[in-house]
């Protein structure tokens, strides 16, 4: 919560004055110290959204402002999901396995939490797409597949960590820092440029490394195919070793026989998630569908890179640099319609 509040405060301080809420800076600081920064952002977004509902069609700056606010909220929600909710979900699963008992409310809460993790990834991806000038939104089918492949990839990972904790409760205190450090170094080597200064940039990289402990998250421009293969291969091997350690070290008297078929289904579940991801980016991605319909022209876009035009305010000084950088990272496309592989859009 502290890390998310720090990011929210740093973003507000770096935004152009016209994009900041009309609230005194000391009051904003107090709200963030009281862990109310995210709540205040939601209230401010509701206020702007209400103005957008009643604004005239030509007042597009309010719509762009709403897109920027929505993206910041979606990203803070993503941070909260993986820095707070996902570790709590892993802990809850460990407690249920440790006690070998589960209340109905615990089961429902855990199932809902798994769905919320995948939903936060889908929501973040959709909020990024709102920054495209000529946005090709996700269809219902594409959204369902996107949601499912994230769910099928995250569930086995959380299960493997919980099983390893069941065998060696304090082992996670060793495993997590080692994997987190590897992910932090990997993110640093990719040269992110998200925050305004080097210090906050290290905070951003540290938070992304936590996300990468559980799920894929793209942080650099260019082709993501090889980076994605390296990442998923590493996570697959690591999760398999965690599950095998539990199988090797579990006592014969333990009443966890029902976990054997669950563990056996974890690998096919992960492979199914990878298959759905390949299916999404090869056939269901909005850019692929737009390309098939001939909606891509071989011209340079004015607001972005590699043929992608991004939303911007009419005044050049009003730029949300964070969102522009992320959109260029996640939606860098080829200018040629004949180039079929659009992996630059593989954001999360």
Q: What is the pLDDT of residues 291-347, one digit of tens each?
A: 665 544 332 223 334 444 555 544 555 556 777 777 667 665 433 333 333 333 334
Residue 166 phi/psi, 5° resolution? -65, -35
Asked whether the CA dihedral 184, 151, 230, 244 is positive or negative, the reply is: positive
Task: Name the least confident of 35-39, 114-118, 196-200.
Answer: 196-200
- Token representation of residue 254: 């333990």
Q: What is the pLDDT of residues 55-94, one digit of tens each?
A: 654 466 677 777 778 888 999 999 999 999 999 999 999 9
Tell me the three state secondary structure of residue 217: coil
Cβ atoms within 10 Å, residue 346:
19
In the structure, what pLDDT confidence band is assigned to residue 17 with cuts at 50, 70 and 90? confident
Tell me the three state secondary structure of residue 132: strand
Please check whether residue 329 is in contact with residue 291, taking contact to mean a CB–CB distance below 8 angstroms: no
User: What is the spatial distance between Cα 30 and Cα 10, in angstroms, rounded to a whole number?
Assistant: 14
| pLDDT at residue 9 is higher than 90 | yes
DSSP state, residue 301: -
Task: Name the least confident of 109-118, 125-134, 150-159, 188-197.
Answer: 125-134
Q: What pLDDT score was predicted for residue 135?
A: 56
Kindly report the average pLDDT of the chain as a whole number. Answer: 81
User: What is the spatial distance between Cα 107 and Cα 230, in angstroms, rounded to a whole number?
Assistant: 34
Q: What pLDDT score was predicted for residue 342?
A: 31
- Taking the alpha carbons at both ends of the chain, their separation in whole angstroms is 22
Cβ atoms within 10 Å, residue 151:
19
Q: What pLDDT score was predicted for residue 14?
A: 84
Would you report the helix, strand and coil content of the chain in percent, each value rounded to 5? 70, 0, 30
Asked whether the CA dihedral 148, 152, 157, 158 is positive or negative, the reply is: positive
User: In Å, what is the CA distance from 113 to each residue of 42, 87, 119, 288?
Assistant: 21, 11, 10, 32
The closest alpha carbon to 331, from 126, 140, 132, belongs to 132
* pLDDT-above-90 percentage for the chain: 46
In the structure, what pLDDT confidence band is assigned to residue 19 with cuts at 50, 70 and 90? confident
Q: Exposed, middle or buried by CB within 10 Å (0-12, 13-18, 19+), for 272? A: middle
| pLDDT at residue 136 is higher than 70 | no
Contacts of 329 (CB under 8 A, 6+ apart): 218, 219, 220, 221, 347
| pLDDT at residue 180 is higher than 90 | yes
């Amino acid at each position: 919560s502290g890390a998310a509040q720090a990011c929210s405060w740093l973003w507000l301080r770096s935004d152009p004055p016209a994009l900041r809420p009309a609230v005194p800076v000391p009051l904003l600081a107090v709200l963030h110290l009281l862990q109310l920064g995210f709540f205040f952002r939601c209230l401010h977004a509701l206020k702007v959204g209400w103005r957008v509902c009643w604004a005239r069609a030509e007042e597009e700056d309010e719509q762009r402002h709403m897109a920027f606010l929505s993206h910041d909220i979606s990203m803070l929600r993503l941070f909260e999901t993986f820095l707070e909710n996902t570790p709590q979900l892993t802990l809850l699963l460990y407690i249920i396995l440790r006690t070998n008992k589960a209340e109905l409310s615990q089961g429902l809460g855990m199932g809902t939490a798994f769905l919320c993790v995948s939903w936060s990834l889908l929501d973040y991806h959709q909020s990024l797409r709102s920054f495209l000038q000529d946005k090709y939104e996700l269809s219902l089918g594409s959204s369902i597949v996107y949601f499912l492949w994230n769910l099928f990839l995250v569930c086995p990972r959380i299960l493997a960590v919980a099983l390893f904790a069941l065998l060696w409760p304090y082992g996670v205190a060793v495993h997590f820092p080692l994997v987190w450090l590897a992910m932090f170094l990997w993110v640093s080597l990719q040269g992110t440029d998200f925050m305004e200064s080097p210090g906050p940039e290290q905070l951003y990289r540290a938070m992304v490394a936590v996300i990468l402990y559980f799920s894929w998250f793209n942080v650099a421009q260019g082709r993501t195919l090889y980076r994605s293969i390296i990442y998923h291969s590493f996570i697959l091997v690591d999760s398999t070793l965690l599950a095998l350690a539990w199988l090797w070290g579990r006592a014969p008297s333990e009443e966890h026989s029902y976990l054997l078929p669950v563990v056996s289904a974890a690998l096919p579940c992960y492979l199914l998630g990878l298959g759905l991801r390949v299916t999404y980016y090869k056939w269901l991605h909005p850019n692929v569908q737009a390309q098939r319909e001939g909606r891509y022209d071989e011209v340079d876009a004015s607001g972005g890179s590699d043929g992608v035009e991004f939303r911007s305010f009419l005044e050049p000084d009003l730029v949300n640099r964070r969102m522009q950088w992320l959109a260029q990272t996640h939606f860098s496309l080829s200018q040629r319609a004949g180039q079929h592989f659009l992996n630059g859009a593989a954001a999360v």
